[in-house]
């Protein structure tokens, strides 16, 4: 079977800065992968390349074997890639329900749309917020709204960029449960700093450092890895 | 939610119809003609209120489409000696030009500010070109462009299919009012459709919309084209009702005026900008009778004032002010100190 | 041969004209990111300074080269203090506010001086190239355009002020951390942009005549030139003026001024479709 997502030798440079450096990445259908790494390791840039917000300087991105490098964001989204961005990207002036409606309606009949909106809100647990304007919600709640927006589009691959940021402890636990539940039907890549959270959800973990993949292994093995600890503590990596 | 929304639209429509019937009863023919100007400018206002309020497209040269509508109507009507086809042509040409310009802007991914500058420059260029066509060699068919003198004796509107039966000024007023109300209802309808709601989403957050699989460029292009068509409709009526069109339709003042009306009335609504249009147009007509004042002076002053002090618009700004005053009156205890949220870890 | 020389002079004059009307805008828009719609009115105020000075019996050259930039520069500083400084970082609002300002100034000048065309005469005379007469004033404009470009490069590159201004526009917080005062630097930079525009208005006044509404005739070309030029002030203005000026002037020679204007617009639109960041977004990227 073809992998769901593959990058070959992916490079993204801004002027003299190399944010993503020759990344070869492979994700199977139905996989849940965590992406960790210190600030500025290139995780968000990597996501932006995957979703067409940046056009990579070099390399190739394949989605189910089909090259998607350099396509427009909306074309990639239509193929089935959904993303929750790092800074919540929502329609602040619209209500929670309308936000999700916008996502759910593409390519669906009004009746189906209404059902999917209800389901997405229930799944994330924000049905009680339906009529509130998103702009006035707390940061953690907005994160959940964005997650529901992404779910409502029913993408095959979901990218989550720091979904737990700004959440209370209970919200974080609920989020972990939601992510595990999503993973029964869809593949996910989750960028997160919070190691405890990573432990709650992950099996395989990829560590980014200075734009390149440093380690890729089982979560417990990664936690034990001396290089990873050095990177997080700011020591220089012994080559 | 839905019934209230419908109720407001119906109430506005009913008020519009009532005023339309009332005005010719209390005013003489000359005054009715003056009111026609307000109605025509109202259609023009709606065109910008729509693309800005529901599409988030800040067009600084909306006058270009208004003027193109007017000129197209004038030239075609002089050539054809009838007005129904020219009327449709005016809308079509304005929409086509808007679509062409929009294609360059949206598919070239111009940012808001550049979009503003490009639309502004666009209307200025047309203004300059039309102004320099005063010579007798500039003819389209039998119509002389006339440069800065404009095109006089544009045929008045006639009954479709019967060029010999012209509408009188009061009938033209009814026609213009009909189109204003119809445009309002059309835009309200668009607002309620899936496309309309989607365009609002695009206005709110383009990145999110495109990450959900919507082609933002296409949506904006459609909104812009519809706006161009409506401005063209306004322009055609403008040329028809006063039997005249000149390059001032393309002037900066014409584009600035409509922007001020929409800003003052509140971006995102239709009735607000319409009221602002009627009120401020009446004001500038009054100013033109005062010897020491100048309409540009006042217009510019209002624009600066609104931008600096009421960035949300006159009506919403006043509403904000009153809520603030009411909240202040209600609050007996000193305001609670709001602590800044603890800084989350951000990459 | 003679004809070729005449055409060359006229093309150079067209280029210098574009440089004159757009260099101030390049500083205010290109460097400070303020979309100044009142740019045309700065030109107009420069023109009026010359007209009024001439009426008061002041030497025209002094009025043109000293008073016009001085007066408009001060007006620019006043405008920056009263309006622009509240709007930094809000590009669309600066656009709207300066548009209001533009209308206001036109209205104000119309009320004070009336809506009539005022002329300025300068005694430069003309000279002959073969069978053709060329106005000496054309050479003067070419000279002023060249000097302006050279002076801007010199100021930006070799003076403390230029370095400070460039640094502040790049990163105002860092400049403040180094003990500079960004508000004052913004004010001065805006004033200099306005002053250069006033100078241009003064120098062009004898050719164009002066009316309250004259700004509108220039603003489109000025914006097209600056946008086509891209980020670099001098290289951008210089290259865009050269390209657009020669195309429109040569087209004008071959056809009519109207077609010349169309050609200018056409080239600019095509260029922007190919080079969305302007000429200096692709070429001469390291220049000023």
Comparing A119-123, A164-168, A212-216, C203-207, the range with the smallest average pLDDT is: A164-168
- Comparing A5 with C260, the larger pLDDT belongs to A5
CB atoms B252 and C223 under 8 Å? no
The mean pLDDT value for C85-113 works out to 87
Distances (CA, A) of B263 to A159, B210, B270, B302, B304: 39, 28, 11, 10, 11
A18, part of any domain: yes
Residue A227 in any domain: the answer is yes
Q: Map out the domains of chain C with their CATH numbers.
A: 2-282 (1.10.3470)
pLDDT, tens digit (0-9, with 9 covering 90-100), for C251-280: 888 888 778 888 887 888 778 777 777 777
Where does the pLDDT of residue C74 fall: very low under 50, low under 70, confident under 90, or very high at 90 and above? very high
More confident residue, C78 or C272: C78
Taking contacts as CB-CB distances below 8 angstroms, the residues of chain C near B295 are: 107
What pLDDT, on the 0 to 100 scale, is given for residue B334? 44
Q: Among candidates C243, C195, C230, which has minimal Cα distance to C18?
A: C243
Per-residue confidence band for C195, with pLDDT thresholds at 50, 70 and 90: very high
- Mean pLDDT score, C100-127: 85
Count of alpha carbons within 13 angstroms of residue B41, beta-carbon side:
27
Number of domains in chain B: 1
Q: Which of C102, C107, C276 to mutate to test binding with chain B, by most B CBs within 10 Å of its CB?
A: C107
User: What is the residue-wise DSSP string for A46-92?
Assistant: HHHHHTTSS--SEEEEEETTEE-TT--HHHHHHHTEEEE-SS----T
To the nearest whole percent, how much of chain C has pLDDT over 70? 97
Percent residues over pLDDT 90 in chain A: 46
The Cα C140–Cα C161 span in angstroms is 28
What are the tens digits of pLDDT across the range C126-160? 777 777 777 888 889 999 999 999 998 888 888 88
Residues of A in contact with B215 (CB under 8 A): 72, 74
Domain ranges, residue A70: 1-78+160-166+193-239
- Which pLDDT score is estimated for B312? 63
Which residues of chain B neighbour A89 with C-beta distances below 8 Å?
A: 205, 207-208, 211
Residues of B with Cβ-Cβ distance to A110 under 8 angstroms: 194
pLDDT of A239: 39
Contact across the interface for B201 and A166, Cβ inside 8 Å: no
Domain count of the fold of chain A: 1
pLDDT of residue A110: 86
Q: Is residue A104 one of the residues assigned to a domain?
A: no
Closest CA relative to residue A26, chosen from A6, A8, A10, A47: A6
Who contacts C212 (Cβ-Cβ below 8 Å, separation ≥6)? C44, C106, C109, C110, C113, C115
Q: Which residue has the tokens 């339906």?
A: A130
Greater pLDDT, C68 or B305: C68
One-letter-per-residue 3-state SS of C117-161: CECCCCCCCEEEECCEEEEHHHHHHHHHHHHHHHHHHHHHHHCHH
Give pLDDT < 70 ranges for chain B. Answer: 1-4, 311-318, 329-347
* Coil, helix or strand at residue C241: helix
CB neighbour burial string for A223-237, b if at least 16 within 10 angstroms, e if fewer: eebebbeebeeeeee
pLDDT tens-place string over residues A164-184? 887 888 888 888 999 999 999
Q: What is the mean pLDDT of residues A14-20?
A: 85
Residue C86 contacts B, CB cutoff 8 Å: yes
pLDDT score at B339? 40
Residue C168, pLDDT score: 79
Is there a domain that residue B320 lies in? Answer: no
Q: Answer whether residue A86 is part of any domain.
A: no
Q: Which of A40, A77, A92 sits opposite B213 (nearest CB)?
A: A77
Q: Does C276 touch chain B (CB under 8 A)?
A: yes
Residue A68 within any structural domain of the chain? yes
In a mutational test of the C interface, the residue from B59, B217, B252 whose CB has the highest number of chain C CBs within 10 Å is B252
The number of C-beta contacts closer than 8 angstroms across A and B is 79
- Residue C272 has a pLDDT of 73
Query: Residue A184: inside a domain, yes or no?
Result: no
Which CATH number is A45's domain given?
3.40.50.300
In this structure, is residue B60 part of a structural domain? yes
Q: Per the CB < 8 Å rule, is B204 touching A105?
A: no
Q: What pLDDT is stored for residue C288 in this prediction?
A: 66
Is the residue at B120 inside a domain?
Answer: yes
CB B237 within 8 A of CB B167: no
pLDDT at A87 over 90: no
Residue A238 has pLDDT above 60, yes or no: no
Give the range of the structural domain holding residue B111, as residue numbers without chain letter. Answer: 31-250
Rounded Cα–Cα distance for residues B59 and B259 (Å): 8
Tell me whether B329 touches chain A (CB under 8 Å).
Answer: no
In the predicted model, is pLDDT for residue A38 greater than 50?
yes
Chains A and C touch, contact meaning at least 3 pairs of CB atoms under 8 angstroms apart = no
Averaging pLDDT over each range in A70-84, A200-214, B107-121, which range is the top one?
A70-84
Note which residues in 247-266 of chain C have CB less than 8 A from chain B: 257-258, 261-262, 265
Whether A218 is covered by a domain: the verdict is yes
pLDDT at C4: 83
**Looking at the whole model, is its pTM more than 0.80?**
yes
Q: Tell me if chain B has a CB within 8 Å of the CB of A166.
A: yes
Q: Give the residue from chain B lying closest to A88, CA to CA.
A: B208
pLDDT tier for residue A10 given thresholds of 50, 70 and 90: very high
Span C9-26, average pLDDT: 92
Q: Is residue A139 part of a domain?
A: no
């Amino acid at each position: 079977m073809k992998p769901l997502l593959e990058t070959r030798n992916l490079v993204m440079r801004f002027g003299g800065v190399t944010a993503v450096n020759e990344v070869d990445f492979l994700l199977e259908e139905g996989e849940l992968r965590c992406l960790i790494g210190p600030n500025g390791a290139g995780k968000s840039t990597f996501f932006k390349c995957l979703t067409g917000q940046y056009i990579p300087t070099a390399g190739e991105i394949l989605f189910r074997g089909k090259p998607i490098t350099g396509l427009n964001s909306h074309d990639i989204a239509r193929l089935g890639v959904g993303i929750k961005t790092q800074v919540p990207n929502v329609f602040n002036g619209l209500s929670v329900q309308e936000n999700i409606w916008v996502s759910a309606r593409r390519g669906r009949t009004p009746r189906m749309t209404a059902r999917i909106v209800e389901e997405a809100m229930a799944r994330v647990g924000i049905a009680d917020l339906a009529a509130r304007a998103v702009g006035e919600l707390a940061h953690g709640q907005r994160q959940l709204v964005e997650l529901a927006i992404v779910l409502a589009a029913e993408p095959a691959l979901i990218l989550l960029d720091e979904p737990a940021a700004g959440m209370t402890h209970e919200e974080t636990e609920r989020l972990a449960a939601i992510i595990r539940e999503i993973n029964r039907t869809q593949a996910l890549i989750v960028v997160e700093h919070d190691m405890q959270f990573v432990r709650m959800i992950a099996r395989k973990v990829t560590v980014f450092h200075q734009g390149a993949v440093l380690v890729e292994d089982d979560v417990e093995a990664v936690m034990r890895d001396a290089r990873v600890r050095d990177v997080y503590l700011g020591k220089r990596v012994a080559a | 939610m839905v019934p209230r929304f419908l109720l407001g639209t119906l109430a506005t429509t009913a008020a519009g119809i009532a005023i339309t019937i009332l005005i010719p009863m209390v005013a003489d023919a000359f005054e009715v003609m003056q009111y026609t100007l307000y109605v025509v400018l109202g259609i023009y206002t709606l065109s910008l209120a729509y693309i800005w309020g529901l599409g988030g497209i800040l067009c600084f040269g909306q006058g270009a489409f208004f003027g193109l509508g007017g000129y197209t109507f004038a030239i075609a009507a002089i050539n054809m000696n009838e007005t129904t086809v020219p009327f449709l042509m005016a809308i079509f040409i304005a929409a086509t030009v808007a679509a062409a310009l929009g294609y360059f802007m949206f598919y070239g991914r111009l940012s808001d500010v550049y979009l503003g500058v490009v639309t502004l420059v666009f209307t200025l260029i047309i203004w300059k070109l039309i102004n320099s066509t005063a010579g007798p060699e500039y003819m389209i068919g039998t119509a002389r462009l006339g440069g800065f003198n404009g095109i006089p004796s544009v045929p008045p509107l006639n009954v479709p299919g019967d060029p010999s039966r012209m509408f009188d000024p009061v009938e033209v007023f009814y026609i213009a009012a009909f189109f204003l109300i119809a445009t309002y209802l059309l835009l309200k309808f668009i607002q309620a459709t899936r496309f309309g709601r989607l365009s609002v989403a695009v206005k709110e957050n383009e990145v999110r919309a495109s990450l959900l699989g919507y082609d933002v460029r296409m949506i904006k292009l459609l909104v812009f084209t519809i706006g161009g068509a409506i401005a063209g409709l306004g322009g055609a009526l403008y040329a028809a009702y006063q039997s005249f069109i000149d390059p001032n339709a393309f002037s900066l003042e014409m584009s600035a005026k409509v922007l001020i009306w929409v800003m003052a009335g509140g971006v995102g609504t239709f009735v607000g900008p319409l009221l602002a249009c009627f009120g401020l147009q009446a004001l500038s007509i009054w100013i033109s009778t005062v010897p020491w004042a100048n309409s540009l002076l006042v217009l510019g002053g209002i624009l600066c004032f609104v931008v600096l002090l009421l960035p949300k618009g006159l009506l919403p700004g006043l509403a904000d002010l009153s809520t603030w005053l009411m909240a202040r009156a209600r609050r007996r205890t000193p305001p609670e100190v709001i602590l800044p949220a603890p800084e989350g870890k951000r990459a | 041969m003679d004809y070729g020389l005449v055409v060359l002079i006229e093309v150079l004059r067209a280029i210098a004209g574009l440089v004159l009307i757009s260099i101030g805008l390049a500083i205010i828009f290109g460097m400070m990111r303020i979309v100044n719609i009142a740019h045309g009115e700065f030109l107009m105020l420069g023109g009026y300074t010359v007209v009024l000075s001439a009426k008061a019996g002041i030497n025209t050259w002094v009025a043109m080269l000293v008073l016009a930039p001085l007066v408009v520069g001060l007006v620019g500083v006043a405008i920056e203090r009263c309006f622009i400084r509240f709007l930094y970082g809000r590009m669309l609002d600066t656009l709207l506010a300066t548009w209001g300002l533009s209308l206001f100034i036109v209205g104000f000048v119309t009320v004070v001086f009336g809506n009539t065309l005022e002329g300025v005469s300068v005694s430069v005379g003309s000279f002959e190239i073969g069978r053709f007469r060329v106005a000496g004033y054309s050479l003067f404009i070419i000279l002023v355009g060249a000097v302006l470009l050279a002076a801007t490069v010199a100021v930006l590159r070799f003076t403390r002020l230029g370095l400070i201004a460039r640094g502040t526009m790049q990163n105002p917080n860092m400049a403040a951390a180094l003990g500079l005062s960004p508000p004052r630097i913004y004010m001065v930079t805006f004033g200099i942009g306005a002053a250069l525009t006033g100078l241009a208005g003064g120098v062009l006044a004898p050719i164009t005549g002066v009316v309250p509404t004259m700004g509108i005739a220039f603003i489109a070309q000025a914006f097209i030139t600056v946008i086509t030029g891209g980020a670099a002030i001098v290289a951008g203005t210089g290259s865009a003026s050269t390209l657009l000026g020669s195309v429109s002037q040569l087209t004008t020679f071959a056809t009519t001024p109207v077609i010349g204007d169309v050609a200018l617009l056409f080239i600019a639109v095509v260029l922007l479709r190919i080079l969305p960041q302007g000429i200096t977004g692709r070429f001469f990227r390291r220049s000023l």
